Structures are given as structure tokens and as C-alpha cells.
Structure 1
Amino acid sequence: MRVDGREIAVSGKLLLPWNRRTNDLIRLALSTIFLATIITSSMITRNDWEALERSISDIVGVLTPTQSNLVYLAYGIAILVLPFGILIGLIAGRQWKLLGAYAAAGAIAVLSLSVSGNGFAAPQWHFDMSDRLHTVLAQFLDDPRWIAMLAAMLTVSGPWLPARWRRWWWTLLLAFVPIHLVVSAIVPARSLLGLSVGWFIGALVVLVVGTPALEVPLEAAIRALHRRGHVVTALSVVRPAGPGALILQATCQQAPATEQAPRTPGPTWRPCCPTPGAALLELYGPNQRAGGLIRQFWRKVRLRSAETAPLHASMQRAVEHRALMSVAIGDLGLANTSTVALAVLDRGWMLHARTAARGRPVTADLPVERIWRALAELHDGQISHGDLRIGELTVEFGASTDEASTVLFGGFGKAEFGATDVGLQADIAQLLVTTTAVYGAEPTVAAAIEVFGRDKVLQASRRLTKAAMPTRIRASVPDAGALLSAARDEVKKQTGAVQIQTETITRFTRSQVIQLVLLVALVYVAYPFISTMPTFFSELRTANWWWALLGLGVSALTYVGAALSLWACADRLVSFRNLTIMQVANTFAATTTPAGVGGLALSTRFLQKGGLGAVRATTTVALQQSVQIITHLSLLLVFSVAAGTRADLSHFVPSATVLYLIGGAALGAVGTFMFVPKLRRWLGTELRPKLKEVLVDLGELAREPKRLGLIVLGCAATTLGAALALWASVEAFGGDTSFVTVTVVTMVGGTLASAAPTPGGVGAVEAALIGGLAAFGVAMGIAVPAVLLYRILTCWLPVFIGWPVMRWLTRNDMI
């Protein structure tokens, strides 16, 4: 590359990859949405739109026919001339390499709308209509291919031409909508389709060929450095452009005094590029800034505003902030880089040139107290860093062995001057994590308490959570979750705190989002039940309330039984009282999620909060479910034999077609898991060890009769308690059936309905139980209200009570 008569060697790839061109991707996404909207509205609501357009035209159509013809004539000439005006503008701007993309976009737009069932339909424009000139022009004004061609050409050429021309040309093209309303009353749907197709094709071509923002203005960057007194002799790419800045290393030398720009009086920063030496050039383009802006906006939505740095809508302000913070931290003697130059370049680029980082990386032989004292000095200057990854810290050793080393900071994009308490606490929490990864938790926390004091460290440790710790910090350390736990536990140990209350930094906590989803699911699954309530209440007047109260009391046994079995599976390491209360909340979670997965997750979470590890809690729940299934099947076998063979069980047996479908699906699933390598590895690495753990636990249970008896007793109480509740409900409406038959109905019907995809098996459970009772001779007039009463006692009452119970467990940090 030749700049001002000097040859400068440039090595490395400068072009931004297409998947990182944020502006172009956003343009393509918006054009796709617009095209889909036009197609959908044209297919579904076109008649309504035409009626609306006629109504609007009656209001705005104030022109006489002669005036309308004149307007139509003038606009038609402008639309006909527009593509040639764009072409002349490209030639005047010497955009020679853009002509191919310009022609390709127009051709693709015309061809895409010329496809018909019989192949390509060429445009049929006639120029021999001498009687009315505007009729000739109307062919172009109403032809979607012409509109699409213009929109595609404008989209491709727009970024390369002056903004004033671009605005006027788009205004001229989009004016066809109001002109049609004024002149011909209806905006042809095909014209809007042409506009959307043209914009989409143009956006796609722009993504392929690029925009001026992709051309790196190296010449302007070199001249900006020269004005600061540094002559660049070579450039090499250190990091290609992508999610961050394009970073180049510039070999430079001090410019002769006669070539340096005159300095104006006033304060300035001291350039620190050695002679000869190297400077790092950070070049920020509009696309990089767009991606950063989107990420910042998303963090603003997710977190409170106090948790994130101020949103810089301008890239220039964001880069200036980084440079000025390096100057401010440099004044404290704590910056490992210095600003060399800062300049606004052509085509929306921004230059921040700085020196390379001084010092060496932090290693374990440096006393950890030095790092914490350096952070304290930074905070004394009312500055928060905000990005305390260990890679951003360096150590500068003194000239002699007696001279103390100095810890320096780099990476000032998240730094803030005049920092709030939130920013200072976030710094302490981040440094707790990063230094724990190098030194371990005990020396790290001891040094932090020595420098900042017990109260500040304890307050900052509330942010040692995944939500509060930025992703970049967690990604910079190995096993971030374990480090967060280790640092938090060590803070509790050294400060004597019994518990560290987690800092709530998000606008909506995870539990609030989960509870909102569960409430919506509850309304969804309860709607079919609510629709049957009038009939149920009319039958309820004839019910025997003593039997209903008995069913309610018996249904409570199911919660005691479930708590007893889980308590014994957990080897009595958690509170039985709290475990019983949790079962009520468990009903709410299991009912509002498909297949009851919410209940299993809630049980696992409760055991973890009770002191069990994640693996132990998961294994305990799996063990309890395994024993529950074994007990359920055993009881089903016993009661089926006791029920005899006189009952008609055909309602429980699916048809042959369903059985064949189930068998085929099962064989297909087995074959898929056997022949797909990833699924086969998942079976061997994920599922097999867990099954092995469950089998080992079952073997250990067999050698502990007392514990096994408690688990089986609890599981049996869960199953039989549900059967007793249904039997009491049948008796409440005057039914005459035995407890044995009702137990068979409860177990068989519940098992078949458990495969239903609806949360809580709503609909499937009721149908299975009503059909089962009918199979044993219970009249439908009794079976229907009895089943609904049973579901109220065992499902809906616990669900509505379970919501506040779950809130209470959350407040007391039990789940």
C-alpha cells in the first residue's frame, strides 16, 4: 500500500466475514419479515384491504380527472427515469465495481417475478399507445417487476452514494402508494409485492458484495498517526474484524520535527509509542458497533440499568470513552497501555491507537495481596474497571529485586469514572472469581478481607452467582460454577456468615418467570375442566358430604406417603416436615407441566437446598420413582387378580392399530438410538451410569429391610390413598362398587393417562377413570360427577394451595 509517497507493507486479512456484518444481516432479516407480511396479508386479507383503500381514497381523492392524469404522467416519467439516474450517480461516483452487483440485483428481481406455471413470462410493455401518454407510463408504474427492479437497485447502490441522493430516491419510489390512493383508489397488491421482493433481493446481494463500511480506511488511519508524530512503516493484522475491533500492529518511528503537525496550546496526552517501536491500532467499523449495541440493549432489557455501563448509542462516544478511561487510569499509574491517537475515519470507522500492554501476565508467584491493593487504589480514584479477567492484568517488575512489582490494568471498555457502589461491588466479585482460579479460594478471600474489610467483601459476595457474573468473566476461567461456589463458601467461612443472600440483579428473577409460565399453563389446562363445572354443581346437590370429607382426608395421605418414601430414599438427611409441605407445591408443579417433569425438578431442587449434592439429589429422586413404579405394578397385579375375571376390561385395552403403532414407534426409537452415533454415545455416557447408580441403590436397599419397608410403605400409601379418594367420591354419589375394583380403575386408568401430553394429564385422566368405572358397571350419571369430585380433591385443590406454598418455600430458600 502506498500512502503519501511511502510504501507500507500490510499483512493479514482485513475483510470482515459475512456472518459478522450485523447491519447487513439486520437489513436482510427486516426485508424477509416484510416480504412474508406482504404475502400473508395478500393471501388472507386482500379484500378487506381493498375496502379500506377505497375508503381512504374517498377521503384523499380531491383531484379532478385532468389533475390526476397530470400527476400520473409526471410520476410515471420520474419512475421511468429513476434507474438511469441511479446508474448515472454510480458512474459519477466512480463506483465501477458496483455496476455488476447493480445489474445483477435488477435482473434477479425481474426474473423472480417473471416465473409462471409455464416458465418465464417476459414483460410485455407497449410504446405505441399514442392516444394517451400516461397509459404507456402506467405499464411501468403498475408492473411489480419494474418496482422490484428499482427497489433492488436502490438497496444495492444506496450505501455507496451520498445520503441525500439515497433519501430522495427512496422517497420517489415509495411515493407510488399515496399517488395510487389519490389517482386510482387502489394500491395494487402486486406493486407492494414487487417492492418487498426487490428489497429482499437487494439486501441479499448487499450481504454478498458488501458495503463501503467493509473497506478499511487504512490510509486515513496512517495519516492520523502521522499527525501525532508517528510514521508507520508496516502494518500486520493481529485479530481480524469480527465481534470486536479490527486490531493491527503498526511498526512506527518518530517523525522528523519538520513533518510533525503544529501543536496547539492546551492540555494533551503524551504519546508513548517508542522510537522505533510498535503501536496497536483498534479500528471499529459500523458493523462491529451495531453488534455491540444490540448486546448492550439486550443486557439493558435483562438487567437493571445500574448493573450495566451507560448505553453509548454512538460508536464515536464508545471509543472515546475507552480512550479517556485509559488516560484517567494512566494518571493513577495503573494502566498498562497508553493512548497514542484517537480519530474519526472515513466511512464511519473509528481509530483508537494505543501502546502494547506493559508488564508480564499474572502468575501464582505474585502475592495475591498486590492485586487486591491495586484494585483498592483504582477504587480510591473513583474508578471501577468492570472487566477484571485475569488476562487484562499485567505485572511490571521494578528495576531492582528490592523494588516492589506493580499490578497494572488493561481493557477499559467497561470502566466507569465516578463509579457507583454497584460498580465497585461488581469489581470485587469479579476479582474474587478470577484470582480464585489462580490462587485458590482461601488466600484470595483472606487478601480481599485484609484490603477491603469484612463488610465490603461480604456485600460483594452476594454477586457470586451466574446471573450477576458477566459471561466474559465466566468464560475466562475453568469451571466457573465451581469457582463461584468455592469463593462464596470461603467468604461464609472467613466472615462467619451463616448465609449469603443472593443479590437480585435481573428485572425478573428466574423463579418469577417459571411461576408465570406455570400460571399460564394452569389456566390452559384448567379451561376444559371449568367448562364442565355447571353440570357438576347441579349433581353436587345430591352428594353425601361425609364421604366427600373422607375422600379429602384420605387424599392427604398421598402427600404423607410421598414424603415418607422420598425421606427414606434420602437416608433421612432432610426435614420430614418440610418435605411433606413440599409435596403440596409439588402437585402444582407436576400438574402444570407435561409428564409431571416439574414435580421431579422441584423435588431435586428441594433436596439440593436441603444439603444433598446435585448428583445425590438426582439419584434419590430416580430411586424413589423406581420403587414407586415397582410398587405400583405389584399392587396392580395383586388387585387385578382379586378383582376376578367378570369385569369388562376392554375399555383399558387399546385397539390393535394403536398397539401396532406403539410397537412400531418403540422399535423405531430403539433402532434410532442404536444406529445414530451421538445417541448411542448418549446412552453409554449419560443414561447408562445413572441406571447403574439406581440399580446399585436398589441393591443396597435390599440389604436394609427397615429403610426399604419405609419406602415401599410410602409408595403404597400414595397409590392406595388415591384409590381410596376415588372410592369415597363414588360412594358420595350413591355408587355401589368395591374398593378393589376402584383401585384397579385408579391404577390402570392413571397409568394409561400418564402418557398424555397435556400437563397433569387433564382430559386423559378423566376419560380413563370414567371409562374404567363404566367397565365395572358404574352408571355414567354417577361415574362422571364422582371422577370430577375426585379430581377436585386430589388435583385442583392442592394445585391452588400449592401456588402460595411454593412461594413460601421460595422465600425461605428451600427451593
Structure 2
Amino acid sequence: MPEIPKVPHLPHLTDLPEGRLPRRVPARRIRQILCVVPLLLVTVVAVRHRSVLAEGFGHLTNAEWPWLAVAVGTTCLTWVAAATTRQGAVVEPLPKGRLLATQFAAGAANHLLPTGLGASAVNLRFMTVCGLPLARSSAGLALYLLAEAIGRLALLAALFVAFPGALRLGALLPDGAVGPLLLAAVAALLVAVGVLACVRRLRTAALSFLRTALGEARSVHTRPARALALWGGSLAFPALQAAGLVAVGKALGLPVPPAHMALAYLAATVAVALVPTPGGIGSVEAALVVALVAAGGPAAVATAVVLAYRIITVWLPLVPGALTLAALVRLKII
């Protein structure tokens, strides 16, 4: 019987030198890193805007504290309104406490990343962790964004009709700026349509997402409680934001009627909605000052009001929001 040749010994993966082993970063270590990132970003943003922070806190020391308490209260209620709208955008019930905490954390993420991306990423992750498929989570997110935009524009239109002379639109846009803006919007729309028409795979994905989104919207609107939460929250959210600015204006003695201040806030936020800055930092302040001046306020007082308002709504919640975001990541809620 012929002798069977011996198979040479092949080195096992564990027999290789340690330096050649592929190192895999544990998921726990990745989460620890993600917990620290929000705090580091907060530090960087705060250092970059330290002069604005110092000036804003200086204005707060001279304000009427009862009105500032109202501004703080309305700011807290905006997170409740956001959570209500998020729940109204999906059929499945979401855990209420975690949903509210996620909105607080999403606010911090939204001020650390380009406008809308931070909050959208946090909420998308939260819904998928809660068990919703990615396609339906994305559809719910799109429905939320659409409802929020419609609610903001509806309030703006209602105030424009009720107070037609409250805002001097010529002061908001330079002469000849409307035409280029409209051309840019039309060009962007045509480019998007052209890309969808030319790229078949992208067109197929877009149509599939549209079908999912329409199906989710129909399902939500067959449930009155969900529809009420969606549209009620989408109207309450910008109304509470505007009420916060009105309260700060009252605290600092801005001589502008409350409805005119609310109109100025909505017009300014709509105008900067497409500016890709983290949380609108910089662009929102400038637009708010211009809008309040256009509503009849003195430039110095309007600047003080805007800085104080942004301190209350952005900077004070930023550190606790980042800590909440880190805790949610560590607890695997997002």
C-alpha cells in the first residue's frame, strides 16, 4: 500500500506574529469614543464663539428675570413639541421618555453639525433601534421635516396676512436679490430632476422611497391621534420658538409689538433654512437682527435681544444636551 504523503503544517492565524494580526476595534471602545466626541465639539464651538457668549451673558444680567423665565420655559416646551411631532410621523408607539430625551440630545447634535443633519441622524438611529425598518424610519423622518416646514410657513403666512405692514421686506433682501435667488432655486431643482432622469439606479431608489413615504403618510393619517400629534406639534414648535424670542424682547425692552417680533423670527428662520452652517450659528443671529430692525427695533437693542435669545436656546442647553447624547450612545438607545 503506497504511503500517504504528509500535508505540510500550515500556520494558524494564532501562530502568526502579533504584529501581523488584524486588530479589530471593540464596539465598546467605539461607543466610548462617540461619547467623548460631542463634548469635544461643544468645547471647540464655545471657544470659537467666546466673544459672542461673553456679550450675550452680559446682556442677560440687565434683563427682567420673569420674562427670561418665560423664555426658558418655552424653550423646554419646544422639545416636547418636537417629540410630539416625531411620534405623529410614525404609526408605531415610541417610548415617551426616551423619545423626549432623544429630542433634547438631537438639539445639541443639530448645533454641532450642519443644519438639520445632527438631529436627523440622531432620530433616524433612535427609530431604527426601536425596531422600525430603515426605509420606514427614513419615511417618518421625511414626513416630520415636511410637516415642520409646512407648519412654519403656515404661521408665517398667517402673520403676514394679519399684520401686512409689520415687516419691511426691502430691508431683509438687498435690491435685485430676489431674482438671483429664484434663479438659483430653479437651477437646483432642474439639476436634481436631471440627475434623477439620467441615473437609473438613483431614480429607482427615489421612486421606492417615495412609495414608502406615501404609504407611511397614509397610515399616519388614518389614525386621528397620530395626525393630530403630527400637525399640532409642527405648528406648536415654531410658535414656541417665536414666543421665546418675544419673551427675551420683553425682558430687554425691545420696542416692537410681540406679533411683529414673532413675524420677524419666522421670516428670519425661513430665510436661513438652507444655509449649511452648524445649527445656523452666525447666519441665524445676523438674519434675526436684520429682521428685528426691519420690524422697527433699534439696532443695538435688537442685537442684544438676539444674543440673549441664542444664549438661552442654544448655548445653555448645549452642554447638558451633549451629555445626554453621550449617555444615550452609551446606553445603546441611539
- Identify the TM-score tier after normalising by the shorter chain: 0.7 to 0.9
Find out whether 1:598 has 2:94 as its counterpart: no
Other-structure match for 1:735: 254
CA-CA distance at 1:671 after TM superposition: 4.4
Other-structure match for 2:14: 416
Of 498, 505, 509, which aligns to 2:30? 509
Cα distance in 1 for residues equivalent to 2:147 and 2:39: 31
Find out whether 1:775 has 2:274 as its counterpart: no
Pairs within 5 Å for 1:672-711: 672-675=191-194, 680-711=199-230
Of 85, 92, 97, which aligns to 1:565? 85
TM-score by length of 2: 0.87
Of 49, 53, 70, which aligns to 1:529? 49
Contact 2:167 2:291 in 1 (8 A): no
Pairs within 5 Å for 1:302-701: 338-339=7-8, 412=10, 415-417=13-15, 505=26, 508-509=29-30, 512-513=33-34, 515-516=36-37, 518-519=38-39, 521-527=41-47, 529-656=49-176, 658-675=177-194, 680-701=199-220
Other-structure match for 2:324: 805
Task: Name the amino acid aligned to 1:722.
Answer: Q
Task: Name the amino acid aligned to 1:778.
Answer: G
Task: Name the amino acid aligned to 2:134.
Answer: A
Cα distance in 2 for residues equivalent to 1:767 and 1:418: 61
Residues 668 and 634 (structure 1), Cα distance of their counterparts in 2 relative to 1, 3 Å cut: closer
Cα distance in 2 for residues equivalent to 1:670 and 1:734: 43
SS at match of 1:573: coil
CA-CA distance at 1:692 after TM superposition: 3.1
Cα distance in 2 for residues equivalent to 1:538 and 1:579: 34
Contact 1:543 1:732 in 2 (8 A): yes
Cα distance in 2 for residues equivalent to 1:687 and 1:524: 37
Task: Name the amino acid aligned to 2:102.
Answer: M
Cα distance in 1 for residues equivalent to 2:191 and 2:12: 49
Residues 550 and 673 (structure 1), Cα distance of their counterparts in 2 relative to 1, 3 Å cut: closer
Residues 415 and 761 (structure 1), Cα distance of their counterparts in 2 relative to 1, 3 Å cut: same
Segment of structure 1 superposing worse, 800-809 or 670-679? 670-679
Deviations 1:712-742 (A, max 9, x none): 1111221111011100000111123333212
Contact 2:39 2:319 in 1 (8 A): no
Contact 1:648 1:775 in 2 (8 A): yes
Contact 2:35 2:327 in 1 (8 A): no
Cα distance in 1 for residues equivalent to 2:47 and 2:274: 20
CA-CA distance at 1:711 after TM superposition: 1.2
Task: Name the amino acid aligned to 2:235.
Answer: A
Task: Name the amino acid aligned to 1:606.
Answer: F
Q: Which ranges in structure 1 are unaligned for 5 or more consecutive residues? A: 1-269, 273-329, 331-337, 340-353, 355-411, 427-466, 469-503
SS at match of 2:275: coil
CA-CA distance at 1:418 after TM superposition: 11
Contact 1:753 1:765 in 2 (8 A): yes
SS at match of 1:758: coil
Contact 1:525 1:759 in 2 (8 A): no
Pairs within 5 Å for 1:143-292: 272=5
Contact 1:557 1:717 in 2 (8 A): no
Cα distance in 2 for residues equivalent to 1:737 and 1:812: 46
Cα distance in 1 for residues equivalent to 2:43 and 2:85: 31
Contact 1:588 1:803 in 2 (8 A): yes
Task: Name the amino acid aligned to 1:573.
Answer: P
Residues 632 and 647 (structure 1), Cα distance of their counterparts in 2 relative to 1, 3 Å cut: closer
Higher relative contact order (CA 8 A, sep 6+): 2
SS at match of 1:650: helix
Return the structure number with greater strand share.
1
Contact 1:674 1:680 in 2 (8 A): no
Indicate the percent of aligned positions where both proteins have the same amino acid. Answer: 26
Other-structure match for 1:789: 308
Contact 1:723 1:743 in 2 (8 A): yes
Cα distance in 2 for residues equivalent to 1:723 and 1:572: 31
CA-CA distance at 1:535 after TM superposition: 3.5
CA-CA distance at 1:683 after TM superposition: 4.6
Deviations 1:664-696 (A, max 9, x none): 444444444455588532552122322333233
State which structure, 1 or 2, has the greater radius of gyration over its C-alpha atoms.
1
Pairs within 5 Å for 1:34-45: none
Task: Name the amino acid aligned to 2:26.
Answer: I
Cα distance in 1 for residues equivalent to 2:130 and 2:26: 25
SS at match of 1:509: helix
Contact 2:82 2:103 in 1 (8 A): yes
Residues 713 and 506 (structure 1), Cα distance of their counterparts in 2 relative to 1, 3 Å cut: closer
Residues 564 and 665 (structure 1), Cα distance of their counterparts in 2 relative to 1, 3 Å cut: same
Residues 515 and 693 (structure 1), Cα distance of their counterparts in 2 relative to 1, 3 Å cut: farther
Deviations 1:388-424 (A, max 9, x none): xxxxxxxxxxxxxxxxxxxxxxxx565225999xx9x
Query: In the comparison of the two structures, how many residue pairs are matched?
Result: 330
Return the structure number with greater helix share.
2
CA-CA distance at 1:704 after TM superposition: 3.1
Task: Name the amino acid aligned to 1:578.
Answer: R
Cα distance in 2 for residues equivalent to 1:674 and 1:710: 33
Other-structure match for 2:272: 753
CA-CA distance at 1:707 after TM superposition: 1.9
Contact 1:528 1:763 in 2 (8 A): no
Cα distance in 1 for residues equivalent to 2:36 and 2:197: 34
Contact 2:115 2:275 in 1 (8 A): yes
Other-structure match for 1:85: none
Task: Name the amino acid aligned to 1:770.
Answer: V
Task: Name the amino acid aligned to 1:607.
Answer: M
Cα distance in 2 for residues equivalent to 1:719 and 1:419: 61
CA-CA distance at 1:814 after TM superposition: 0.2
CA-CA distance at 1:513 after TM superposition: 5.0
Residues 700 and 533 (structure 1), Cα distance of their counterparts in 2 relative to 1, 3 Å cut: closer
Contact 2:91 2:220 in 1 (8 A): no
Cα-Cα RMSD:
3.1
